[in-house]
Amino acid sequence: MTKKFFTLIFAVSLFIGAKAQSFQLRKDTTIVESTDRYKFETNKFFGNWFIGAGAGAQIYFGDHNDEMKFGDRITPAFNFYIGKWFTPGIGVRAGYTGFKVKGLTQNGSHSDGTPYSKLPWEGYWLTNQEFKYNHVHGDAMFNLMNIFGGYKQNRFYELIPYAGLGWMWTKSDAKNPQQREVSANIGVYNTFRLSNSFGLTLDVRGAMVNDRFDGEEGERRNEGPLSATLGLVYKFKQNSWKKSETVTIGYDEAQLRSLVDRVNALASDNAALKTQLANAKTEVITDIKVENRVIAAPVLLTFPINKSTVSNEARVNLGFLAKVIKQTNANVVYTITGYADSGTGSPKTNERLSKERAEAIYNVLVKEFNVNPSQLRTIYKGGVDNMYYDDPRLSRAVITIAEGL
């Protein structure tokens, strides 16, 4: 009896030691870069910023300015701006334009009283007008080349219309109070590529304010400056966009089959040892219980940005996982954890997206591959920092891992 007892203990030790050994699965990673110009990876907040300045000419459309010779109306114009592209097609900027404008007036606003020499006084009663103004504004910008032609980093010319709102004001003096008005702005921003960081710009802008801005109200409802400036733009580092990539991590099927066979063999040995221990009558040890814990390799499935749709490549991997689940211990529960990239999207959006991704994997396993729902549970972590290799794409993922019960 004593010899039989020690034989059983030695067998149990070998069984437990075998279970403690690690089993490394060989994995293959495949990265496929999209050839579609309309698919790309968005960058973090500090990517795709730009700054620029320009100088040129402007004219002002006021109540009597059309009576003035065109050349007499032209004055210098300057602009400065800073902005950011959120996608290759959509961006915003904040800027300043201004200096001074010239025109004609009948009520003497912003005038030294000098009659306009190129028109008779009688019947016109117009004097020269000149005043300085300042204009700050915000613009929504739309890169039509990237929107309709797809993103191309080395494109020479880009046509970018924009629209926005601003605040325009004049300086006060002894005769004229300060004017302050909200402005509506439209324009076309043209860029010509000089290098990866620099571009030549031609910015044509029109701004519209209330008719009273120049100190004189007439039949016009609105007035404002029209300017054209030539300048330079500097694009800060990380000024390009990375094409969308699909990352697939697969495991060797032969190794998976070997792992299943190994688990089944351990389960059979476990049952035999429990039977022998139950039949061994001793007062020292009355029962030895050895639990079977299955250790399965984690499965990482990635998603495109802002998507929770399961790709066909991911379904192939889920089919392999479903086969393992159904062939092994039914007491093993698999945890499906959803994640989102914290670098893109708001916390609320990332929370929703990680939940949708976990549920999408759950639905494929249950509905398409008939996995027992009692062996699955889903959790979601919302937006997380880069989990692997400092690559945000590997955080737009679902990880499936098994836990022995």
Q: Strand 333-341 to strand 376-384: parallel, antiparallel, or no bridges (unpaired)?
A: parallel
Question: So what's the pLDDT on residue 215?
Answer: 75
> Residue 122 is encoded by which pair of tokens?
């009688």
- Expressed as residue numbers, the domain containing 143 is 43-241
My answer on whether 64 and 119 are in the same domain is yes
Residue indicated by tokens 């062939």: 327
Q: Which pTM was predicted?
A: 0.52
CATH number of residue 325's parent domain: 3.30.1330.60
Looking at residue 392, the DSSP 8-state letter turns out to be G
What gap in Å lies between CA 113 and CA 134, rounded to an integer? 24
Distances (CA, A) of 353 to 148, 337, 347, 364: 28, 12, 10, 17
Where residue 360 falls (left for φ over 0; alpha for ψ -120 to 50; beta otherwise) is: alpha
Q: List the pLDDT tens digit at each of the 405 positions of the chain.
A: 444 444 444 444 444 444 444 455 555 665 555 555 556 667 777 889 999 999 999 999 988 777 788 888 899 999 999 999 999 999 999 999 999 988 888 776 777 878 887 777 776 778 888 889 999 999 999 999 999 988 888 899 999 999 999 999 998 776 777 889 999 999 999 999 999 999 999 999 999 999 888 778 777 788 899 999 999 999 998 766 566 555 666 666 777 787 788 888 888 888 888 887 877 755 554 444 444 454 456 788 888 888 888 888 888 888 888 888 888 777 888 888 988 887 777 888 888 988 888 898 899 889 999 988 988 889 988 878 777 776 766 655 566 666 654
My answer on whether 236 and 253 are in the same domain is no
My answer on whether 342 and 382 are in the same domain is yes
Candidates 125, 130, 127; CA nearest to 110 is 130
What gap in Å lies between CA 83 and CA 189, rounded to an integer? 13
Which backbone phi and psi does 234 adopt, to 5 degrees? -115, 130
Of 241, 262, 295, the domain-final residue: 241
CB of 92 closer than 8 Å to CB of 83: yes
My answer on whether 194 and 315 are in the same domain is no
My answer on whether 250 and 383 are in the same domain is yes
What gap in Å lies between CA 250 and CA 319, rounded to an integer? 11
Of 209, 241, 273, the domain-final residue: 241
CB of 37 closer than 8 Å to CB of 152: yes
My answer on whether 98 and 210 are in the same domain is yes
Q: Partners of 333 in the beta sheet?
A: 403
Residue indicated by tokens 């984690």: 298
My answer on whether 86 and 159 are in the same domain is yes
My answer on whether 91 and 197 are in the same domain is yes
CB of 161 closer than 8 Å to CB of 185: no
Helix axes 2-20, 253-279, angle to 10 degrees: 160
Residue indicated by tokens 């009896």: 1
My answer on whether 214 and 298 are in the same domain is no
My answer on whether 258 and 218 are in the same domain is no
Provide the CA 166 distance to its chain's centre, in angstroms.
27
My answer on whether 213 and 76 are in the same domain is yes
Candidates 283, 290, 265, 272; CA nearest to 5 is 283
